[in-house]
Structure 1
Amino acid sequence: MGMRTGNNGKAGMRVQTTPRGASRVAPPPARRRQWRMPRINWRLAGRLLFAMLAVVALGAGLQAWQVLWPQLDRPISQVLVESKLGEVAPQNQQQLQQELERFGEARFLSASLAAMQQALEQLPWVDQARISRVWPDQLKIEVVEQQPIARWGEQQWLNSRGQVFHGVTRAPGDTMPQLVGPEGTEEQVMQQYWSLTRILRPMGYSITRLELRARGSWFVHTREGLELLLGRDEILEKMRRFTTIYERELKEQMKQIARVDLRYANGLAVAWRDEDNNETTVQ
C-alpha cells in the first residue's frame, strides 16, 4: 500500500479542519404579527349595561313621581262612616270628625291612617276602628261600636271582655245587669258574672245585680227576687252545693224563699218571705 510521506518521513495525510468556536446558525426570517380583536366578557358587559339602564330608569321614575305626587296626594274631600250596627248617630259622627281634624289638612296618600285609627279607638263608644283609602280623594271609616253587656256602677258600662267604657250609641234595655266592685276588679267581676249565670240560668234565674264588696264578699240579686250571699271563698263550690240542695229540698219552695246564705262551711241558711225574715238552716 502506498503512502505519501513528508520531508520528515511521516506519512502524508490530507486533513480537513474547521475553525474553532461555536458555529453560527442564520435566524429564520421574521414573521409579521397579525392584529387580533381582544376577547370581550359579554357577561360583565351585560351586567354593566343593565346597571346603567336601571339607573336611567330609576332617575326617570323619580322625576315622574315628583311630577305626579301633587296630583295623586290630594286633600281629602269626604269621609265615609260605616258601622256594623247600622247608621252611626249624628253626635258620634261629629266626634269622629273632630278627632280627624286634629291631624290638620289630611291628604290622600300622606295621611297616617294608623295614627288616625288609634285616635278614633280612644273614643269611649268605639271598640275598634278601621280606616282605608277610597280613590281618588276619600277616606272610609268602619267602626265597631262598644257593646254593653252590663252596667258598671251607676254611669259606666262593661263590654264582654270586662272593659269599662263611658258612652253608648244606643240606650240598652232595662234587662241590663248591674255589676259593682272596687276599681280595677272589672274583669274579675265580669268573669264571675258569666260563671254564676251558667249555673243559675238553667234553674230559671237571671242576675240583675252582682256585687263584690271591698272585703271580698260576693252578693247576688236575681230578677225573680232571690238574694244569694256567697261569702269570699270557694264560690263555685258553694253554688254546686246550692244546686244540689235546691234539687233535693228547695225547688218546690223557692217562691217562698227571699234569701239563701251560703257563707257556711257545710250547708246553707234560708230566709223565708213574709215570716219576719225567719231563717232555716239546711245541711
Structure 2
Amino acid sequence: MWNNVRQLNLAANALHIVLVLLLLGAAGYWAIQRPEFRLRQIQIDGDTTHVSSPVVRASVVGHLKGNFFTVDLDAARAAFEQVPWVRHASVRRVWPNALAVTLEEYKPLGTWGNDQLVSVDGDLFTANQGELDDDLPAFDGPEGTAKEVVARYRDFQKWFAPLDAQPEEVTLSPRFAWTVKLSNGTQIELGRERNQDTLNERCKRFVASWTSVTGRWGKDIEYADLRYPNGFAIRAAGMRFINDTDKAKK
C-alpha cells in the first residue's frame, strides 16, 4: 500500500473528509448550543375562551426540554394538551428562539357525573366548572357510554320539542335504562332499549297524549313512566293516572 500512490491518495482524501465532517459536526454542535437559540418565547393562538396565554405558558414551560433545534415537538404538543380545556395543540418552531402554538379547546355540552364535563363530541374532560358561562345539562352513565348518551340527548331534544321542553338531565343507569328530566320539571322513565325504535315510540306516544293529559291533570306533571307496552303512568299534583292497556312493563 505504501508504494501505491493511488491508494495513498485515496486514504489521504478519506482522512481529509473524515476530518472535515468532524469539524463540521463540532461546529454545528457548538452553534446549536449557542444561547441565541434558547427558547425565549411561546406564541399562543387559536381558541382561548377558557384558558389564558400566561396560564398556559406557566403550566408548560417547565416541561419543555432543549432549544430551537433540539426541542421535541411531539412532547411539547403533549404538554400543551395536558392543560385543562385544551383538546388539541399544534406546535411549530419560529426562528430563531420561539414556538408557535395553536390551541383548540373542548366545546362543553354538559356536566358528567360529579366532577367532569362532556364535550359536544362526546369526549370527557376535567376542567373548572366555575368557568362555565351558562348552566349546562347534566349527563351520567356507565364508563365508556359518553358518546351514546350525547347522541341520545340530541334525540330527546327533537322528540320532546313539541312539549316546548328541553332535556336538563339525561342518565343511563348501570342496567342501561334511560331517565330524562325536562325543563318543565317532568322526570321521565324510558327504560331500556329493546330495539332501535323503542325509545322513539315511547316518546311519540307520550307526546301525542300530552294535550289530553295536561288538559285533565294540569301542566304540573312531576313524573311519567313510559315503560309500559301500550301506555304510560304519570304523577301530577299528588295524583296518579295510568293510561295503559297492558299492565306488564317491558
- Please report the TM-score for the alignment, with normalisation by the length of structure 2: 0.75
Q: Which residue of 2 aligns with 1:162?
A: 122
Q: How big is the shift at 1:170?
A: 6.6
Q: Which residue of 1 aligns with 2:176?
A: 216
Q: Which residue of 2 aligns with 1:189?
A: 149
Quick one: distance in 2 between partners of 1:174 and 1:187? Answer: 22
Q: Which residue of 2 aligns with 1:258?
A: 222
Quick one: distance in 1 between partners of 2:176 and 2:244? Answer: 24
Seen in structure 2, the aligned counterparts of structure 1 residues 164 and 86 have a Cα distance that, compared at 3 Å, is closer
Q: How many residues align?
A: 220
Identify unmatched segments of 5+ residues in structure 2. 1-18, 246-250
- Other structure's SS at 2:219 match: helix
1:81 aligns with 2:44: yes
1:5-154 superposed matches below 5 A: 67=27, 70-71=30-31, 74-86=37-49, 88-89=51-52, 90-100=54-64, 103=65, 106-154=66-114
1:238 aligns with 2:202: yes
Q: Which residue of 2 aligns with 1:199?
A: 159
Which structure has the greater CA radius of gyration? Answer: 1
- Other structure's SS at 2:108 match: coil
Deviations 1:169-203 (A, max 9, x none): 87114420110112222222122112111222353
Quick one: distance in 1 between partners of 2:102 and 2:116? Answer: 24
Quick one: distance in 2 between partners of 1:215 and 1:87? Answer: 36
Seen in structure 2, the aligned counterparts of structure 1 residues 180 and 279 have a Cα distance that, compared at 3 Å, is same
Quick one: distance in 2 between partners of 1:205 and 1:63? Answer: 76
Aligned residues: CA RMSD: 3.0
Q: Which residue of 2 aligns with 1:37?
A: none
Quick one: distance in 2 between partners of 1:164 and 1:111? Answer: 30
Quick one: distance in 2 between partners of 1:212 and 1:240? Answer: 20
User: Is this contact kept in 2: 1:82–1:88, CA < 8 A?
Assistant: no
Seen in structure 2, the aligned counterparts of structure 1 residues 169 and 232 have a Cα distance that, compared at 3 Å, is closer
Q: How big is the shift at 1:211?
A: 1.1
Q: Which has the higher contact order (CA 8 A, sep 6+)?
A: 2
Q: How big is the shift at 1:149?
A: 0.8
Quick one: distance in 1 between partners of 2:127 and 2:111? Answer: 11
Quick one: distance in 1 between partners of 2:97 and 2:57? Answer: 19
User: Is this contact kept in 2: 1:125–1:169, CA < 8 A?
Assistant: no
Seen in structure 2, the aligned counterparts of structure 1 residues 66 and 197 have a Cα distance that, compared at 3 Å, is farther
Quick one: distance in 1 between partners of 2:232 and 2:63? Answer: 55
User: Is this contact kept in 2: 1:120–1:126, CA < 8 A?
Assistant: yes
Q: How big is the shift at 1:99?
A: 3.1
